Structure 1
Amino acid sequence: MKTRTTLIIAALLMVTNFSFAQQNEECMLNLTMFNDAVKSKNYDDAYEPWMKVRKQCPKFNIAIYKRGEKILDHKIENSTGAEKTAFISDYMDLLDAAGENFPSKYSKGEIEEEKALKKYENQKDLGLTDYQIFEAFDLEFKNYRSDFTSTKGLYVYFTKTVDLFKAGQFEIQKVFDKYDDVNDQLDDLNEKYAKSLNKLIEKETAGNALSKTQGKYKTFYQKSLEANSKIAGSLDTYIGDLANCENLIPLYRKDFPTYKDDGAWLKRAVSKMYNKDCTDDPLYVELVKAYDQADPSAETKYFVSTVLRKQGKNSEADKYVRESYDLQTDPIKKARMAKKIANDFKRSGSYGSARTYYREALALNPSDGTPHLQIASMYAKSANNCGDNAFNKRAVFWYAAQEALKAGRVDPGLKSNATKSAASYNANAPTKGEIFSQNMAGKTITIGCWIGGSVKVPSLD
């Protein structure tokens, strides 16, 4: 009897194993079919074998989900009405299934971000309101902020806030809060990308070639930083005149008594007043003092210096600037601080001090080329004051052009801007006719004043 029972169990196992093997073979065949079709962009041909694998073997291969997103994107783009909304719904289901079957590859935050983007892209077809779109991104931001990396998503999240304010659904404080939230997120992402990118740049600078994978990461970091920079500018454009002194001052004046000991609120209020040039109002001084008392830091010392400079106490302000800079230890934050200090010196016409801090920013964050453009613009503005004759003065524009081009070499996202700036500077430099008449071709000109350095006159070849 025992022998018979054993034989039956063995037979059942053989049948089960055969069935499992047969199913695996069928799944592998369909996987190959839809994978090849997707590679050839024949998404309609891929759909049927893909659906078979998806239903029969949901854990078989991550390509079911990675390729499946492309297949459903095609279906959504090429359908209308109820059929389209059905494909959108299926896309959401696919993301949920991906998270269940491949949780290490699809985090909950990434899934929610993708869902929010898909809802926004198909808002009209799904009949969703602006508030529902805002809510989808707000869920992502509040619960999975570290996974909220989409520049497009961050932009939509903010613009929907502004739209809802204009529709009377949000108070203006909500707009300012969300503006700060999104900019803080961009700063955090940029800090992470810049640190990773700088490590790769250091490796290259040391003469070591990047691996193929490292090269791809380098491109990804550079493009991400460029995209985030564009989005940051777009946020300022979209908020427009809402963030002006006429709106900010009464709002912060009203809320100041409530938040006078809240470091986070004071930081945002002071930063906004400073960035929007509302520093002449007495409220700015009050906010800075309260911020420095509530949460003293490198940043508060910097803002104290701006107050002192307004009061004409420049030597004391310089002391606070240096203290602020020295207190900052994180290289990316320190580079950001150096640029802020440099910008202030540039605005006041202290070009030599500005260049010192711009160069410190370059040393701390070599992947950011914007300081080169700022230095070049100061050279160009000083051309008329740096030279003992007309030719030598205009030769400074060659020097400015050389500096501008450095921006594009270290930061590909600035290449176009750097090239245009250099061309503009070169257009103001001596012409070939002037080089010939002055017999200056190939000669080196020493530049005076605060600039220093020298520039070689182009040859006439």
Structure 2
Amino acid sequence: MKTKLTLLFTVLLVSISGITFAQAPDDCAISLSYFTEPAKVKNYDAALPYYEKLIKECPDYNLAIYQYAVKMFEYFIDEKGDKSKVKDLIKAWELRLQNFPAKTKEGDVLSTIAQIKFDNNIGSKEEQFNAFDEAFKKDPENFTSGKSLYAYFSLAVDLQNSGEKDLQEIFNLYDVVSAKIDEQKNSLAAKLTPLMDKEEAGTALTDKEKRAKDVYENNLGVYATVEGSVSGKLGQLADCPNLIPLYEKDYEQKKNDVDWIKSASNRLDAKDCDSPLSNKLAVRLHELEPSSTSAYLLGKQAEANGKASKALEYFNQAADLENDNAKKARIYYSIAENYRKKGSLSTARSYYNKMLDVKPSAGIAYYKIGSMYADSANNCGTTVFEKRAMYWLAADMMEKAARVDGTVAGNAKAAANSYRQRAPQKSDIFSEGMAGKTIKFNCWVGGSVRVPNL
């Protein structure tokens, strides 16, 4: 009898244990439901206790725990003004990364946490900088927030101003951050360009394409603002009166350091610093390591000395040797400018287009082409109407420039508006009977334009 009772007790215990283990996931599901249902309607006071239960008992049960948690704590902080929830918000991001790494972009989350600390003045400037630095170095691909890129660089400059970082560190970081911004702009512009081309060809965009175009244009504007802010933050630190003495002081010690010479040369060139040091650096670099960079810099020096043909020779060498698209774009621009100034407009346009091939966000290329079209109006066409029609093409180029590059958008929009005023107006189209007709250009511009219907 005793043996039977013992056996029965054992069976019951196993059964109860089995029920306990089987219910655990169900308990998590119930708790998740109790959390998410009120969270969906922003009843966060009711949701909060279940969130605390979930992260204690079921932290890796469902990604929705942390998706709703972020919204919840942002609500408490932004809408209710409860700054005590900032640490909870940070913790929610950390737990998401810890429990769902495969569904989480590390660089995005770490930069978001760093931004929260920066916005709420948590920690010293050095600690805040280190948080951004860790995020960027661990996962640069997914560190894409323009706001965070600016904060990252801004903190570095502040630390340099207080003597905690040297100037070369700031220049190095500036190059890194600028390259990242450039990368994002080019990615967006590459997506925007086919949509602009489709519109230009007279094909209506779908609603989905229109929404995408608006997003691309808006984000390009954001990155252009960030780019300007980063350059503004660097400010006088990178002006010629500071750069030239800095590099002159270090030249003898660094004259065999190829990377240092490249960096110094590029920065002096970017600021158009007029100094014998620029030529000395270019020549020295070409001696140590003949390359795209050294050829480009020698080209710039030849150009500055009025030797346009020699400059062009160097620029073409540089383009052939260069693999980096950002640098290749700069070279193509220099070549295009060289031809434009010599009056070889068709060749200049081909190099501006080469620049756009490797850097789709180079609005300056569209801007220059538009300017050349406008300047050629009197030479393209046999009638006054045909000549003025060239301004439609010029305006189109300016509008493209404004769309892909916020740094030239203001001037480009003003130019586009001016050109459209110079183009034939409705009364001209009516009196000439040109509505809907196509005008072909037989000058260097080539191509055609369709006259608007009335």
Matched with 1:49 is: 50
Query: In the aligned structure 1, how far is the partner of 2:431 from the partner of 2:214?
Result: 47
Residues 154 and 356 (structure 1), Cα distance of their counterparts in 2 relative to 1, 3 Å cut:
same
In the TM superposition, 1:48-87 aligns within 5 A as: 48-79=49-80, 84-87=82-85
In the alignment, does 2:260 pair up with 1:262? no
In the alignment, does 2:228 pair up with 1:233? yes
Q: Is the 8 A contact 1:292 1:301 kept in 2?
A: yes
In the alignment, does 2:322 pair up with 1:328? yes
> Secondary structure in 2 aligned to 1:451?
coil
Query: In the aligned structure 2, how far is the partner of 1:457 from the partner of 1:147?
Result: 46
Once the two structures are TM-superposed, the CA of residue 116 in structure 1 deviates from its matched residue by 0.8
Once the two structures are TM-superposed, the CA of residue 60 in structure 1 deviates from its matched residue by 0.7
Gaps of 5+ in 1: 203-211
Query: In the aligned structure 1, how far is the partner of 2:218 from the partner of 2:154?
Result: 22
In the TM superposition, 1:342-381 aligns within 5 A as: 342-343=336-337, 345-346=339-340, 351-364=345-358, 371-381=365-375
Query: In the aligned structure 2, how far is the partner of 1:394 from the partner of 1:454?
Result: 13
Query: In the aligned structure 1, how far is the partner of 2:183 from the partner of 2:7?
Result: 63
The aligned amino acid for 1:185 is K
Query: In the aligned structure 2, how far is the partner of 1:197 from the partner of 1:2?
Result: 80
* Residue number among 147, 152, 157 corresponding to 1:157 in the alignment: 152
* Residue number among 127, 130, 133 corresponding to 1:135 in the alignment: 130
> Secondary structure in 2 aligned to 1:277?
coil
> Secondary structure in 1 aligned to 2:103?
coil
Query: In the aligned structure 1, how far is the partner of 2:383 from the partner of 2:213?
Result: 46
Matched with 2:201 is: none
* Residue number among 287, 290, 293 corresponding to 2:281 in the alignment: 287
Once the two structures are TM-superposed, the CA of residue 348 in structure 1 deviates from its matched residue by 6.9
Once the two structures are TM-superposed, the CA of residue 349 in structure 1 deviates from its matched residue by 6.1
Matched with 1:402 is: 396
Once the two structures are TM-superposed, the CA of residue 76 in structure 1 deviates from its matched residue by 2.2
The aligned amino acid for 1:122 is N
Matched with 2:92 is: 94
Query: In the aligned structure 2, how far is the partner of 1:96 from the partner of 1:340?
Result: 47
Once the two structures are TM-superposed, the CA of residue 417 in structure 1 deviates from its matched residue by 8.2
Q: Is the 8 A contact 2:282 2:298 kept in 1?
A: yes
Once the two structures are TM-superposed, the CA of residue 294 in structure 1 deviates from its matched residue by 3.9
Once the two structures are TM-superposed, the CA of residue 8 in structure 1 deviates from its matched residue by 6.0
In the TM superposition, 1:180-259 aligns within 5 A as: 180-189=175-184, 227-259=222-254
The aligned amino acid for 1:266 is I
Matched with 1:427 is: 421
Query: In the aligned structure 1, how far is the partner of 2:209 from the partner of 2:427?
Result: 48
Matched with 1:209 is: none
Query: In the aligned structure 1, how far is the partner of 2:195 from the partner of 2:281?
Result: 41
Once the two structures are TM-superposed, the CA of residue 267 in structure 1 deviates from its matched residue by 2.5
Q: Is the 8 A contact 2:186 2:361 kept in 1?
A: no
Once the two structures are TM-superposed, the CA of residue 379 in structure 1 deviates from its matched residue by 1.6
Once the two structures are TM-superposed, the CA of residue 369 in structure 1 deviates from its matched residue by 5.9
| Larger displacement relative to structure 2 (364-373 or 45-54) | 364-373
Residues 387 and 76 (structure 1), Cα distance of their counterparts in 2 relative to 1, 3 Å cut:
same
Residues 392 and 6 (structure 1), Cα distance of their counterparts in 2 relative to 1, 3 Å cut:
same
Matched with 2:15 is: 14
Once the two structures are TM-superposed, the CA of residue 388 in structure 1 deviates from its matched residue by 6.3
Once the two structures are TM-superposed, the CA of residue 355 in structure 1 deviates from its matched residue by 0.8
Residues 437 and 64 (structure 1), Cα distance of their counterparts in 2 relative to 1, 3 Å cut:
closer
The aligned amino acid for 2:354 is E
Query: In the aligned structure 2, how far is the partner of 1:179 from the partner of 1:378?
Result: 33
Query: In the aligned structure 2, how far is the partner of 1:194 from the partner of 1:398?
Result: 22
Q: Is the 8 A contact 2:345 2:372 kept in 1?
A: yes
In the alignment, does 2:306 pair up with 1:312? yes
Residues 399 and 185 (structure 1), Cα distance of their counterparts in 2 relative to 1, 3 Å cut:
closer
Matched with 1:119 is: 117
| Paired residues, number | 449
Matched with 2:200 is: none
TM-score by length of 1: 0.79
Matched with 1:35 is: 36
Query: In the aligned structure 1, how far is the partner of 2:299 from the partner of 2:60?
Result: 60
Query: In the aligned structure 1, how far is the partner of 2:211 from the partner of 2:225?
Result: 21
Once the two structures are TM-superposed, the CA of residue 110 in structure 1 deviates from its matched residue by 4.1
Name the structure, 1 or 2, with higher relative contact order (CA <8 Å, separation 6+): 2
Query: In the aligned structure 2, how far is the partner of 1:3 from the partner of 1:266?
Result: 90
Q: How big is each residue's C-alpha offset from its partner over 1:90-110, in whole Å with a ceiling of 9 and x where there is no partner?
A: 223333322332222346544
Query: In the aligned structure 1, how far is the partner of 2:335 from the partner of 2:329?
Result: 10
Query: In the aligned structure 2, how far is the partner of 1:30 from the partner of 1:213?
Result: 38
Residues 366 and 191 (structure 1), Cα distance of their counterparts in 2 relative to 1, 3 Å cut:
closer
| Larger displacement relative to structure 2 (5-14 or 91-100) | 5-14
Q: How big is each residue's C-alpha offset from its partner over 1:56-94, in whole Å with a ceiling of 9 and x where there is no partner?
A: 2111111112221111111222455xxx45422222333
Once the two structures are TM-superposed, the CA of residue 244 in structure 1 deviates from its matched residue by 1.7
Query: In the aligned structure 2, how far is the partner of 1:388 from the partner of 1:425?
Result: 19
Q: Is the 8 A contact 2:340 2:348 kept in 1?
A: yes
Indicate the RMSD between aligned Cα atoms, in angstroms: 4.4
The aligned amino acid for 1:317 is A
Query: In the aligned structure 2, how far is the partner of 1:2 from the partner of 1:339?
Result: 94
Query: In the aligned structure 2, how far is the partner of 1:2 from the partner of 1:340?
Result: 97
The aligned amino acid for 2:239 is N
Query: In the aligned structure 2, how far is the partner of 1:213 from the partner of 1:396?
Result: 32
Counting aligned pairs with the same residue, the percent is 37
Q: Is the 8 A contact 2:374 2:419 kept in 1?
A: yes
> Secondary structure in 2 aligned to 1:104?
helix
Query: In the aligned structure 2, how far is the partner of 1:41 from the partner of 1:69?
Result: 12
| Larger displacement relative to structure 2 (265-274 or 133-142) | 133-142
Q: Is the 8 A contact 1:131 1:164 kept in 2?
A: yes
Q: Is the 8 A contact 1:180 1:268 kept in 2?
A: no
Query: In the aligned structure 1, how far is the partner of 2:5 from the partner of 2:108?
Result: 54
Residues 201 and 42 (structure 1), Cα distance of their counterparts in 2 relative to 1, 3 Å cut:
farther
| Larger displacement relative to structure 2 (422-431 or 247-256) | 422-431
Residues 393 and 21 (structure 1), Cα distance of their counterparts in 2 relative to 1, 3 Å cut:
same
TM-score by length of 2: 0.80
Matched with 1:299 is: 293
Q: How big is each residue's C-alpha offset from its partner over 1:331-388, in whole Å with a ceiling of 9 and x where there is no partner?
A: 6764564345435655776543321112223445667665333311222244356566
| Larger displacement relative to structure 2 (245-254 or 363-372) | 363-372
The aligned amino acid for 1:134 is F
Query: In the aligned structure 1, how far is the partner of 2:70 from the partner of 2:47?
Result: 12
Residues 68 and 10 (structure 1), Cα distance of their counterparts in 2 relative to 1, 3 Å cut:
farther
Q: Is the 8 A contact 1:195 1:332 kept in 2?
A: no
